[in-house]
Structure 1
Amino acid sequence: MATPAHPGKRIPALDALRGLAVVGIVGMNVHAFALPAPAYYNPLSYGATGPWDYWVWLASFVFIEDKFRTLFAMLFGTGCLILLEKGGARPWRAHYARMIVLFAFGLLHATLLASNDVLRAYALAGLALPLLAGLSARALLAVALGLVTMHFGLGLTAFGSAMVDLHMQRWGTDAMLFAERNFGSDPAAIAALIEQGREGLADRIVRRSLGIPAQLTTLLASLPLNLAAMALGMGLWKAGMLKGEWRTFRLQRLAGLSALAALPVLLVLAGWLVQTGFPAALVGPVALVLSAPFDMLLGVSYAALAMAFFVPEGRITRALAATGRLSLTNYLMTSVILSAIFASWGLGLFGTLTRSQAFAIGLVPVAAMLLWSPWWVARFGQGPFERLWRAAARRLA
């Protein structure tokens, strides 16, 4: 069992859990850098040439996709709550200053490097966290459940037309064309995305800058699910689970029950996609809507297992804890490394690798952060971007 929290002391298991989340996110982020966007969810879109590629897709869908993003968002909510509970002068103003600076980081990150940046979404969802900070653990869990239900309803409304058209075999409708462009394997759309992915840095900056208004729509659509994960993290902190106050058996029971509820459904959804041949009208709602509650449950299972088995003196715990203390820096530096490998201003490998090869390349930033983080923490404590974030927010507040 993790060491219980004491005022002013870090919880190694919680830092290690944050490090695990940063490491796990790489497993999906590498596909966003290496392959055209529809292939992120659909292996038939691009990059699948052999059995290994489909096994990588299956493992990613069941165990990685949105599980570690959920975990990262949970811990973001926990971190914000810890700072709000510490109080100090004008805690709300300090919190909003941190969110403004984080949004600026995310905007630069999305424009220069990563189209799938999460910092902007976290900053926007984080604006609501002070309103939730005074709620009890049970109330926070209820808020999380309500927000997941909202995401589920809004998602089915957004994707429902395409699913109906697929069932009725109505091809060529606007909903079907939208699904095919974003989740399918339309040759013209894939060719355009391959060309776009090989653009120069200056062209990317112009394109992404002009697309900022359109990006806000996607960010707003992600708010209920991101805020649900943050509220869940806050609730688990107040319940004592993320403070390291639960006994090992209780943590194991939560992990087992959550996994038992999530894994069969995720496997059924994966089987449904395979059996139907990954139709674009089905890939989107399965990946973004139908799997969402079960992704969150599996994220809770991972968190419970980590709090049960990460011990302060363990070598793995220490390495992951250092990685977690530099979570913002490591998240951004992962994008720098992957851009250096896949972007045209780096090695230019975008669109040249299979899904399994790209997944293996993801081990490069993982190894880098696990190696450099303990060294940096031992010498400097705080990460460079964490330090910049705090300093900029302090000035703004």
Structure 2
Amino acid sequence: METPAPNKTSSKPRIIELDALRGAAVIGIVWMNIYVFALPAQGYYNPTVWGPGLGEASRLDRIIWAISFVFIEDKFRTLFAILFGAGCLILLERGGGRPWRAHYARMAVLFAIGAVHSIFFASNDVLRVYALAGCALPLLSALSARALFAICVGLIALHVGGGIVALGVSVLDFYKGREASDAAIFAERVFGSNPASVQYMIDQGRLAWGDRIAGRIEGFGSQLTVVASAIPINLAAMALGMGLWKSEFLKGKWRLFLLQRCAAISALFAIPGLLGLAWWVSGNGFPASIVGMTGLVLSAPFDTTLGLAYAALAMAFFRSDAPARKRMAAVGRLSLTNYLLTSVILAAIFASWGLGLFAEVSRTQALVISFVPIAAMVIWSPIWIQLVGQGPIERLWRGGSRALS
């Protein structure tokens, strides 16, 4: 996501590869966000929790889970955060009057937008995390690219270490057969097939809109604990994005063979690790404790590295002046609006006030439906850019930030 972009009269030229990369990120996020809207929460990480089909359909759902786990889950979220960090650094470097104050005004408005989004549409909203993690970015802006890369690695280590401390007991209990331990019971409720827990999440997903909003307002404070726990891994990606900007990677100045080498090395590190984790989970029959540990914790270094590989491939691919580049760049210029628009579309499909398809589709069927908001973004974005320019939510963000600063 980009911080507020210059308007159409700005003298600063846009980097079209960066816009196109942003468009790819916001599209990729839909392929995982669809499961938040379509399935009980436990089914997001665990394919055995939910799926109307049996036999072949059930096996297909597991294959879709494996593909998503290795190639999609958290990779595009990482890419989004990388671009957010780079976008914030761009504005900080442009300076102007009181750049820090302007930055914190942007973060305050972004948090407010995310709060509204989380209450009305998507409880997994990431904008609140970005706003809170973004408060640290001015402190990092003067560092060299090498220092920023080191901070990225350190924050990933912090995330993994903290996750192991928090969830490691449940994994040990699984291997020791302690299914009745507190840690094992907690993991089963959050990541497993506990019937009562799954039914509770189904009931929550089918609430009327008014009841859902009231519940989310009531639980907003407690949800901030979950938001805070995601700060280190997202800040790691933002620091990486700042380093990539300073190293001129995101400025489109790396030679093609360097981009290809970066993508190859990153993928060769990440993909075997993710395949190994997927084998560990599926080979043990998707136990809740291992599902949680792999999905939230152990995959993080590989997710970040594969996100970097995608960035390198996209920067290489979008160098060519192809129609796909221009259309993807249009999607990226409206990244904040498109991110929120997908939630509106998905809610209209799955929520009780819409078509009411929540908990009525399999993982595979949900993936097919995800192409509805993707198609909407690809179609409407170039038209809006041509006729209006800046996106409506981008305009709101910029205007609110100016009012505060």
Equivalent positions of 1:181-260 (< 5 A) are 181-260=189-268
Partner of 1:47: 51
- Among 257, 263, 272, the residue aligned to 1:264: 272
Cα-to-partner distance string for 1:33-79 (whole Å, 9 max, x where unaligned): 00000100000111263222111111100000000000000000000
State which of 366, 374, 377 in structure 1 corresponds to 2:374: 366
- Secondary structure, aligned partner of 1:135: coil
Q: Does 2:352 correspond to 1:344?
A: yes
Contact 1:252/1:305, CA 8 A, preserved across alignment? yes
Q: Tell me the residue number matched to 2:154.
A: 146
Write the letter of the residue equivalent to 1:57.
W
8 A contact 1:12–1:312 mirrored in 2: no
Deviation, 1:311, is: 2.6
How far is the alpha carbon of 1:192 from its aligned partner?
Answer: 1.1
The aligned residue for residue 8 of structure 1 is 12
Question: Residues 100 and 338 (structure 1 numbering): CA distance in 2 closer, same or farther, change over 3 Å?
Answer: same
2:398 pairs, out of 367, 390, 395, with 390
SS at match of 1:116: coil
Give distance in 2, aligned partners of 1:168 and 1:86.
Answer: 57
- Decide whether the 8 Å contact of 2:184 with 2:289 is kept in 1: yes
Give yes or no for contact 1:323–1:330 (8 Å, CA) kept in 2: yes
After TM superposition, the structure 1 = structure 2 runs for residues 5-44 of structure 1, keeping only pairs within 5 Å, are 8-44=12-48
Runs of 4 or more off by more than 4 Å in structure 1? none
Shift of 1:313: 2.2
Structure 2, unaligned stretches of length 5 or more?
1-10
SS in 2 for 1:333: helix
- Pairwise CA RMSD of aligned residues? 1.1
Write the deviation string for residues 248-268 of structure 1: whole angstroms up to 9, x where unpaired. 000000000000000001001
TM-superposition CA deviations, 1:343-366 (whole Å, max 9, x none): 001000000001000010000000
Q: Distance in 2 between matches of 1:206 and 1:304?
A: 43
CA distance in 2, matches of 1:254, 1:278: 33
Report SS of the residue matched to 1:27.
helix
Partner Cα distance (1:376, 1:312) in 2:
23
In structure 1, how many angstroms separate the alpha carbons of the residues matched to 2:321 and 2:272? Answer: 35
Partners of 1:91 and 1:342 in 2: CA distance: 42
1:126 corresponds, among 127, 134, 149, to 134
What is the number of residues matched between the two proteins?
A: 392
Q: Please give the secondary structure, in 1, of the residue aligned with 2:282.
A: helix
Deviation at 1:279, TM superposition (A): 0.2
TM-score, normalised to structure 1, is 0.97
Shift of 1:213: 1.6
Where 1:278 maps in the other structure, the secondary structure is coil
Question: In the alignment, which residue of structure 2 is the partner of 1:95?
Answer: 103
Query: Equivalents in 1 of 2:121, 2:295: separation in Å?
Result: 24
- The separation in 1 between residues aligned to 2:63 and 2:328, in whole angstroms, is 27
Structure 1: state its 5+ residue gaps.
Answer: 1-6
> Identity of paired residues, percent?
60
CA contact (8 A) 2:263 2:310 kept: yes
Counterpart for residue 73 of structure 1: 81
Distance 1:95 1:145 in 2: 25
CA distance in 2, matches of 1:105, 1:256: 37
Shift of 1:312: 5.6
